[in-house]
Structures are given as C-alpha cells and as structure tokens.
Amino acid sequence: MGPINELWEILTLVSVVVIGALVALVALVRGRGGRSTTLPRTPGRAGERRTEGDVLTEEPPAGTEVEDRGGGVAVEPGAGPAAPTLERPESARGRLQRLRARLARSNTAIGNALLALLSRGGLGEEDWEEVEDTLLASDLGVEATEELVASLRRQVAVDGTSDPVQVKQWLHDDLLALVDPSMDRRIAASRTDGLPAVILVVGVNGTGKTTTVGKLARVLVAEDKDVLLGAADTFRAAAADQLQTWGERVGVPAVRSDQEGADPASVAYEATKAGIEMESDVVIVDTAGRLHTKRGLMDELGKIKRVVEKLAPVGEVLLVLDATTGQNGMRQAEEFAREVAITGIVLTKMDGTAKGGIVVNVQRKLGVPVKLIGLGEGPDDLAPFDPEAFVSAIVG
C-alpha cells in the first residue's frame, strides 16, 4: 500500500497546484477587464480606433452598450432616458402689448360706456353723474373719480365739443395721468454686492399667488436671470409640489421642506442660503396665503422677512391681489402694507373683469406701483405692467 499512498499524495498535490493556477489565471483576467469605467472621450468619430495606454481598443459608437466582463453593463453617455426638454419662455418685454386685445376685451365696458356718454353733447348733471357711476363701478376710487370727472367737465366746457375723437383723447390723457407712468415699475432681480436679489411674494388665499411665483420665474428666465424658488408655503401640501413643477419646466431649482407645517421662516432662510451658494441672480420666496385679519399669520410675514435679511436684503415684497375683489382688496392691501413694506403690486384675474380702475386705486392707497398684471391662465400670461398699453386698451 506504500507506493499507492505516495502516488495518491502526488496526484492530490498536482490537483491543488493546477486548481491554484486556474484561480490565479481567472483573477488575473478579471483584474484586467473586470471593472467598467466610462473614460473621457477623445475627439474623433464614433467607431474610431484609439490607444489607451498600451492597449489598442475599438471605440464603439456613442450611445451603445459596452460589455462589462465583470458581469455588469456600462452605458456610454447618451444612452438611457433622454433629459427633459426645458421650456424657453419668450422675452417678457412688450408682452402687455401682445396681450392688449385680451385686456381690451376685459375692460371694454369702461371705455365704451364712457365714450358713449361723453360723446352725446349737451351733457347735463344727470349725464355727469352717470359718468361718475361708471368710473366708480370700475373700482377707480372716489378721489380719482372726482378728479377725472372734474377734468373732463372742464375740457368739454372750454372746447364746447362732443367730437368722439377729441373726447377719447381727453379720456386717454387723463386716465394715463392717473395711472402715473412716472412710477418705477422695474423688478429688483439682480445680484448686489455678491448677493442674490430676494423677492418675497405675499397675499391672501385664492389670489393665484403660487401660480404667480411660477409665472414670475418664467418672466425672469426669459430675461436670462438665474432663478431659485423657495417654497415657504408649508401649510398647503400641494403648494411645494406645484412650485417645484413650475420650476422644473424652465430648469429652476426649488428649495422645500419635506415636512408639512414646517417653519416657513426656516424654509425661506434655507432658500436664500442656497441662492447665495449657487450664485443665483434672484431668489423668489412663496409664502402661505393668509387672511389680513389673522394677526398671528400677519406677524409671521415680518418674521420671514427678518430671518431672510440675516443673509441678504429683501429687495422686493410683491403683494398679489385679485383684481375682482374691489374694495375688499384695498383693505387687504393696506393690512399687508402695515406688516411688511410692500414694494409692488401684482394684479391677477384682469382677463375677466371690467374693473381696471383698481390699478389707480391701489397705487394711491399704498403709494407703490402695479408692477405685474395677470391676463389669463397660460404660463406666459403674466406681463410687466405698461401704463400706456393698459390705458390704450381700456379706452380702445
């Protein structure tokens, strides 16, 4: 049995050596080709041969899958789901002129009624009272209405004409003076001292505030501004989702909290911080809608503004008003102005109302300009306010 045992031991040893050699060979092969790394492409046509170190390889066409000898699949740049196509809004400059026909339809009752009255000739006290009633119904306000009627009566008396063309010109000039073209209606949306501009958007529920923020982002993107959104409306679950969707359509990031009811001031702070780090031109902060009669919620607006200004100055506080709310909207505006320093007004829902006089009324009450006007449901139906185009649309 001795020789047999020795032979068995020799065979066992040989087997161990062979298996070990095979394992080493497999390891060597895997070490050379087991990992897949996407290398930077050198310039050249797809399929062109190139040298990587001392290895000559055939470069496959872009977008093809490359076998990974370690068992996986490496995808070259260009393969996989296509990146979403970002929308590129047209410039907002002159947008109100393009939307003039829509604005004219919404305010046609004012212009037509006034011109019909003023062109009668031989106007008596009852006629002038009807002119006053028409202007008051347009939410022009008592003081502005009295001024406009007094001016028209004086011109009619001096000129002694009821020519529609002349009357229309008087009405146009007087309304334009009331709208006040001299007010600065620019949006503060440029970096200052290395910090982004911060725009705080406030208003009551139902005015279209979050939608306005999304549309404003599109206006600024069209002007080549680098925008970041802050979803500080943490009380309404859908608000952050809605804002994020608006941003994604034009490639604008949004900072939000995953917790419903999170501290709005904290979200606004983080959004401003992110805007600074990303060197954004402007940060737009959406706040929760709140009734002007709720003292605690109104105080919260002041807190948001104070917290944000620890990082960067708030250059704009835009109040979003529903143009159809009339005198109630005026009360809202005054309460918001007392809590935070309003710098401009955004009037929404002007596409379905003949109450264009609210522009004059709100500017007089707050001493700040209407800067933007909403004329429809479309994503680009928010326009920078143009006094001349607005008045021309009203008068016709």
Q: What is the pLDDT of residues 207-264, one digit of tens each?
A: 889 999 999 999 999 999 999 999 998 888 788 999 999 999 999 999 999 887 889 9
pLDDT above 50 (res 51): no
CATH fold for the domain made of 197-342: Rossmann fold (3.40.50)
Q: Which of 250-259, 279-288, 291-300, 329-338 comes out lowest in average pLDDT?
A: 291-300
pLDDT above 90 (res 183): yes
pLDDT above 60 (res 364): yes
The binding site consists of: 203-210, 286-290, 348-351
Contact 390/179 with Cβ under 8 angstroms? yes
pLDDT above 80 (res 374): yes
pLDDT above 70 (res 9): no
3-state helix, strand, coil in the chain (%, to 5): 50, 15, 35
Task: Give the pLDDT of residue 6.
Answer: 61
Query: Hey, which residues does 232 pair with through a beta bridge?
Result: 287
Higher-scoring residue by pLDDT: 176, 288: 176
- Report how far residue 260's alpha carbon sits from residue 251's, in angstroms, rounded to the nearest whole number: 24
pLDDT above 80 (res 81): no
Helix (H, G, I), strand (E, B) or coil at 304: helix
Q: Mean pLDDT of all residues in the chain?
A: 77
The mean per-residue pLDDT over the stretch 107-120 comes to 75
Task: Give the pLDDT of residue 8.
Answer: 53
- Report how far residue 37's alpha carbon sits from residue 266's, in angstroms, rounded to the nearest whole number: 41
Closest CA to 371 of 197, 185, 201, 179: 185
Q: Which helix (H) or strand (E) holds 127?
A: helix 125-137
Calculate what percentage of the chain has a pLDDT beyond 90: 37
pLDDT band, residue 204 (cuts 50/70/90): confident
pLDDT band, residue 24 (cuts 50/70/90): low
Calculate what percentage of the chain has a pLDDT beyond 70: 74
pLDDT above 70 (res 355): yes
- Report how far residue 331's alpha carbon sits from residue 236's, in angstroms, rounded to the nearest whole number: 24
Task: Give the pLDDT of residue 11.
Answer: 59
Q: Which of 55-64, 115-124, 346-355 comes out lowest in average pLDDT?
A: 55-64
Give domain limits for the chain: 197-342
pLDDT band, residue 293 (cuts 50/70/90): low
Helix (H, G, I), strand (E, B) or coil at 94: coil
Higher-scoring residue by pLDDT: 335, 383: 383
39-43, 81-85, 361-365: which is most confident: 361-365
The binding site for GTP consists of: 203-210, 286-290, 348-351
Task: Give the pLDDT of residue 85.
Answer: 78
In the chain, DSSP assigns E strands to 49-52, 55-58, 65-67, 73-75, 197-203, 227-232, 254-255, 282-287, 314-322, 344-348, 370-374, 382-384
